[in-house]
Structure formats: C-alpha cells, structure tokens
Chain A
Amino acid sequence: MALAWASCQKDNQRFVYDKLNTVSIKTADSSFVITQLDTLSIQTQLTESIPSGDSYTYEWKAYMVGENAVILSDKKDLKVAVNLSPGSYDLIYTVTSVKTGISSFMLYPLTVNGAFYEGWLVAANQDGKARLSFIRANDSVFFSPAEDVNKTTYPGKALGVNAGITSSYANLALVMFYTDQGVYRFNADNFIQNGTTADIFPEPKQFSASCAYAMSKIPYDQYIVADGGLYAGIGPLFYPQDVLKPYSERLTGDYTLFPVVINSATAVTLFYDNKYRRFMSVPLGDRMLSPVSASPGAVFNMADVGKKMIGWDYGTQSVISSDEIYFVMQDDAGIRYLYSLKGATPELSQQIGNSPDIEKASAFAASGVVKHLYYAAGNKIYLYDILANSSKMVYTFPDGVKIKDLKMLSITSRRIVVATNTGAAGEVYYFDLDNLGDIINHTYVKKFTGFGEIINLSYRSAN
C-alpha cells in the first residue's frame, strides 16, 4: 500500500542542463580530386566549443554508393596514398570525444581519377616498333604506358588507336591499339592489356589500315570497323560481364565500310559503305547490316549518296538522338563536299567552295559549338566557315613538317590538337581558339615531342 502511494508521487519535471563540448572542423578545401595512388593530404583545424582538454579519436572513411566503405586513416590529419578505384566518393571525417562519445562529422566530395583518366592517345612508330603514348589532361606525358604496365613490346607497324568510354550505364573504358600484326585491347584506366586479336575476333585476322571502334549511342553494342568489314560485340548496357567476349564474324553483306561508327542516333547505328556509296545501319542489339531506306525529299538521299567518304567528325552532341556529324565526301572528279546528319536525318549537303588546298586535305576536325570545320593539308591548317562556305588559313608549320592528324577537343571545342611528323619525329601541338574560331595569338600553347612517327590521335575522355 505504501509503495503504491509512493508511486503516485508528482514529478515536478525539473532538469539540470549542462552544455557539452563539441568540435567544429575546418579544412582549406571543401572537395578533393586526386589521381589514383597519389598522396591525399588534408590538414584539419579543430575548435572545441568548450575548451576541455578532451582526447579524441579520428576516422577518415571513403564511401562509394554500392560499395563497402574504406577506412583511410585514424589520424587527425589525412596523409595517405589513395588506392581506391577511380570514381566518385564521399569522404567522411569523424572526430569523436573519448570522454563524452559525441562525434562531429564533415563530408567532402572526393573524386579519384585513374592515372590515365583523360587525355590524348598517340599511336606512333618508334625504333621499329609500334608505340602507344598518352598525354594526360594535366600535360603529363607517358611515352609507353602499355609497354611499361604489361612489360612487353608491340611489334610491327602501328595503324591507329581509339578509345571507347561510357559511364552513363556502366563503367566501360577501353583502348584499342591496332598494328599490322594484330590488335591489342587495354583497360583505359590503367593500360592493363585485356585482349589481343585472338580474344577479340573469332578467327585469326590481319589488319592493313586503321580501324574504327565505338559503342552504340545507347551502349548496347560495341563495333569495330576493320578493313572495310563490320564486327559487333556486346556492349555494357545489359551484359557488362560479357563486354570482353569475342566479337561476331564480319557482319554478312557486300560492302566496304569507311572506318567510322556513326552513333548519332539511339535506335540505329549508322555506317558508310564506300563500295556502293550509301549509308547502312544496324538496329540496336541486332547483327544485321542493311542499306538504309531511301530518303526522298531530304537534302540528300542516304541510300544513294554517290560519293566516297574521306573524313568525318562530330559537330554538336547531345544525350538524345540529335547529334550532328559532318562527313567530307568526294566525287569521282575529286570535288569535295560537306554533308551532315542530325541523328539519322540528312541535315547538310554542300560543295565546299572557296577553300584552298581542300582537294589535298587529309584530316578534319569540327567544332561542336559553331559551324566550323578545320582541315589540314600538308603543313597548313585551314578554318572552313560552313555557313559562309569559304576557308582561310589559320596556321602554317615550317616546310618539311607534315600534319598527320587534326582533332578537336570536343568537350570545349576551344582547342584543336595537331599531330605532325618531321621525318620520323612526331610532335603534338595544342592550339587554343577564340570566339571566332581563330587561333589565339596565331601560335600553339603547348608542344609535346618525342613520339616517333605519329599515325593518329584519339581522345580518351573521362569515365
């Protein structure tokens, strides 16, 4: 009875509140970008709300969605060689009071780039061997990364290099390097070789010219155009585990394709047949190469172009099916024309007029911002204004220098990159462009040497 009486005692709800010590964290930067295996150093400044002389524990943890968190350090300041896979992480810093158990947190975006995260691939011949070099976006040059990583050399003559990168649906980053003795495939992040001719093609194959390699716009398929034939492989969209499986045999048909994979549309991937001078297509996820249907009323008939393709480049690009791609065509009289497709629809057809040396042009690069096409002939670079249908010379290399390749840095369309050979000595130049498309200060901004005789350039975009 007494206990029951006591249990009904009124509680006056009076509490005593004490402020506890908390820690605020400050760092010089609020996000970090690091190259894989480089040392990440972050100095922290910790301030106690009530100076108390507490001791603390620390934790630096990196977390990527879908992956297990990785603890990088238990020190106050971070200084660690980052061995995380390339990608985007949340870097979480935790400071915990030993006395009270109260933790303070900071979250930083952390981007880990592969050692070869972005830059220009350079295929060349040097010392009697094929050589693949890489100019990283930060201007570091790796002259033979594939040879160094794989502890091998690549015999024969280089024919070309290109890269296929997609991160929209699955992380696939591959580099294809072609020689007259075979093709080699590398992981673009680290140049580890993951395939040779025997792994990629179902039957033994020799190459005689540079090949095209790209994925369909929706990366369901991979394509290689080699010596006029089309070979299809599985893309990373639905079957990422099968992307390194062998490609098909040469797709059936009577054709000789120009080395380009036209992935400007989502439903089909287009190709150009220089034998019958017409566009051909393969539907997404299919393995049938067929001539496209006639396009009466369009600016040109894709089923019967009647001209030989000699060059191409991307114009404006988008995520939907409306990329514009330019094609330089030549008729039997040697007259050159500029065509374009927007998605899979004819957009432009005009004879290239008022353009010096256009008949000798061997490399082409288009702007993705304005209607400009650059072309190289001999040692000269010209700017073709598509709307005005006329060209002007924008740069001349010294006599004896031959321009081998010309590419646009398409992510900005504000830089053209030029590969030259003087005899067997190859060089790569960066030219920055102003708003009118002219070369700023009429000279290059960077020059890289020591590549051997360059065959081609290809951009390895970021994952």
Chain B
Amino acid sequence: MKYLLFLNILFLMAACKKENISTYKGPDGITFYVDEYEPDSLSYSFAYSPVLKNRDTVFLKMRVVGAAADYPRVISVTAGAGSTARQGKDYELPEITLPAGALTVLYPVVLLNSPEMTTTTFRLVAQVAPGKDFQVGATGRETGGTTSLEKIIIDVSNKIIKPSYWDEVESAFGAFSERKFRFMVQVTGLSDFSSDAIGVDGYYNLPVKLRNALAEYEAVNGPLIDESGNVVTF
C-alpha cells in the first residue's frame, strides 16, 4: 500500500512540471485587409470625376502580421497574375516605407488615365511582393471580423455604363448616353443620380441646372453630340 502511495505522489510531482509556452517565430509578414462588409475588389472609372484627371490614387489598407519594429521597413506591391493593366501606362505601384512602430498603413495605388481606358477596362491584381522586411502574411478572417488578403483586384477604366437606376430618373434627365452622363458629372460634381442620392429636390432642380449649363455650352460650342450622334438635351 505504501508503495502505491509513493507512486501516486511521484506521478503528481511529475504532473506539475513547468512547461514553456510555444511562440511563433519567423519572418514578419504583411497583407491587405478589409473590414467585415467591405468588398475585396473595387472598380474605378476616371469618367465619374467632375474634372478631367490624368492620374488618381486609390488607397489600400495593409497591416503587419508580426511585431512592430523600432525601425522603418519597406513595403512592395506588385501586379499579380491576371493583371491586364500596364505598368507605367495604366498604373504605378510605388515602394513605400512603413514608419517605425507602425502596424498598419494605407498603400497608394496610382492609377493612370490612359487613352485606351475609354474603350477598355484594365485589371490590376495588386499583390504583396515579398522583400527584405516582409513576406506575404497569413491570410484569412480574424476574430474581429476583418479579413487579411494577399491581393486586391482593381478594375480601372474611363468608361461609363448606364447605371441600373437610370430608368427611375429618365423622366428627369432623358435618355441615357455616356456623353450626357459625363456632362452631368462635370456640371453637378455628382456621380450618383439615383433617386435616393439626389432626393426629390434634386430630381426637379438638377435638370434646370443642367439645361442652363447646356445652354451656356451650346452658346460657345454648338450642340453637344453624344456617342450615337444624337443631340444631348435635358
């Protein structure tokens, strides 16, 4: 019996042995990330800008997978597989520096308004490029609801397509044409003319504003002709 008691004490002592906690060790990573209801791709059209733009910048959220560092670190992004956009013609992906101590940063994707964009939509698959400071970080959804991504797709063009809401505002603005829509954006500074966006007063007042602007345009330039050869009216 006393042998059995001795063995039990022995097992109990062994059970209380201190165990070191395992921690991750490896190179720091970086990923794009989006919030819970944020899409993981986006479309951009220069056509919706009220003023002519030759370039614009879209910012992508990035975060470090790893610890903060007490020195600046370099982040690189490259065009991944599936990209049709052309470096230097349709986009620029600058190398940026993550400040010391920082864990998140907004990465600037520079989009260039190339002449071909009026007829073609280009795709840029922005993807983390491994470098001396960062590897591609672990991806997936974290408990807070955000999702880490290796890449984000950007479709860029200078085209306008007929908005799905146009039928509900056609009685205010008339038949849709791309040229008319560009004129509307240019005059009003708006790019969303849906009923919800412009309200009842916008539904009635914006056509007057557009008619006045069109009259000024025609006084200088003559009729505004759309892509189908029709005279633009409001």
Q: Give A residues with C-beta under 8 Å from B.
A: 202, 232, 234, 239, 242, 245-252, 287
CB atoms of B208 and A287 under 8 A apart? yes
CB atoms of B201 and A242 under 8 A apart? yes
CB atoms of A234 and B204 under 8 A apart? yes
Tell me, yes or no, whether B211 is within 8 Å of chain A by CB: yes
CB atoms of A249 and B209 under 8 A apart? yes
Q: Which of B199, B205, B215 contacts A202 (CB 8 A)?
A: B205
Q: List 23 A-B contacts (CB under 8 A).
A: A202-B209, A232-B204, A232-B208, A234-B204, A239-B200, A242-B199, A242-B200, A242-B201, A245-B199, A245-B201, A246-B201, A246-B205, A247-B205, A248-B204, A248-B205, A248-B209, A249-B205, A249-B208, A249-B212, A250-B212, A252-B212, A287-B204, A287-B207
Instruction: Report the minimal beta-carbon distance from A10 to chain B, rounded to whole angstroms.
Output: 75
Tell me the residues in window 48-87 of chain B with beta carbons closer than 8 Å to chain A beta carbons: none
Task: Give the chain A neighbours of B212 by CB distance below 8 A.
Answer: 249-250, 252
Question: Could you tell me the distance between the alpha carbons of A245 and B211 in the complex, rounded to whole angstroms?
Answer: 20
Task: Give the chain B neighbours of A251 by CB distance below 8 A.
Answer: 208
Task: Give the chain B neighbours of A252 by CB distance below 8 A.
Answer: 208, 211-212, 215
Instruction: Report the minimal beta-carbon distance from B172 to chain A, rounded to whole angstroms.
Output: 9
Among residues of A, the one whose C-beta sits closest to the C-beta of B209 is: A249
**Interface-central residue, A234, A250, A251, by most chain B CB under 10 Å:** A234
Question: Could you tell me the distance between the alpha carbons of A246 and B203 in the complex, rounded to whole angstroms?
Answer: 12
Question: Could you tell me the distance between the alpha carbons of A247 and B201 in the complex, rounded to whole angstroms?
Answer: 8
Question: Could you tell me the distance between the alpha carbons of A248 and B198 in the complex, rounded to whole angstroms?
Answer: 13
Question: Could you tell me the distance between the alpha carbons of A248 and B201 in the complex, rounded to whole angstroms?
Answer: 8
Task: Give the chain A neighbours of B207 by CB distance below 8 A.
Answer: 287
Task: Give the chain B neighbours of A249 by CB distance below 8 A.
Answer: 205, 208-209, 212
Task: Give the chain B neighbours of A232 by CB distance below 8 A.
Answer: 204, 208
Instruction: Report the minimal beta-carbon distance from A316 to chain B, rounded to whole angstroms.
Output: 32
**Interface-central residue, B205, B211, B215, by most chain A CB under 10 Å:** B205
Question: Could you tell me the distance between the alpha carbons of A197 and B223 in the complex, rounded to whole angstroms?
Answer: 33
Question: Could you tell me the distance between the alpha carbons of A120 and B156 in the complex, rounded to whole angstroms?
Answer: 63
**Interface-central residue, A234, A239, A248, by most chain B CB under 10 Å:** A248
Instruction: Report the minimal beta-carbon distance from B7 to chain A, rounded to whole angstroms.
Output: 83
Task: Give the chain B neighbours of A245 by CB distance below 8 A.
Answer: 199-201
Task: Give the chain A neighbours of B205 by CB distance below 8 A.
Answer: 202, 246-249, 287
Among residues of B, the one whose C-beta sits closest to the C-beta of A239 is: B200
Task: Give the chain B neighbours of A247 by CB distance below 8 A.
Answer: 205
Question: Could you tell me the distance between the alpha carbons of A239 and B212 in the complex, rounded to whole angstroms?
Answer: 25
Question: Could you tell me the distance between the alpha carbons of A232 and B215 in the complex, rounded to whole angstroms?
Answer: 19
Among residues of A, the one whose C-beta sits closest to the C-beta of B234 is: A252
Question: Could you tell me the distance between the alpha carbons of A287 and B208 in the complex, rounded to whole angstroms?
Answer: 7
Question: Could you tell me the distance between the alpha carbons of A202 and B189 in the complex, rounded to whole angstroms?
Answer: 14
B203-226 near A? 1/0 per residue, CB < 8 Å = 011011101100100000000000
Instruction: Report the minimal beta-carbon distance from A288 to chain B, rounded to whole angstroms.
Output: 8
B170-199 near A? 1/0 per residue, CB < 8 Å = 000000000000000000000000000001
Q: A242-B200, A252-B215 are in contact. List 20 more A-B contacts (CB 8 A).
A: A202-B205, A202-B209, A232-B204, A234-B200, A239-B200, A242-B199, A242-B201, A245-B199, A245-B200, A246-B201, A246-B205, A248-B204, A248-B205, A248-B209, A249-B209, A249-B212, A250-B212, A252-B211, A287-B204, A287-B208
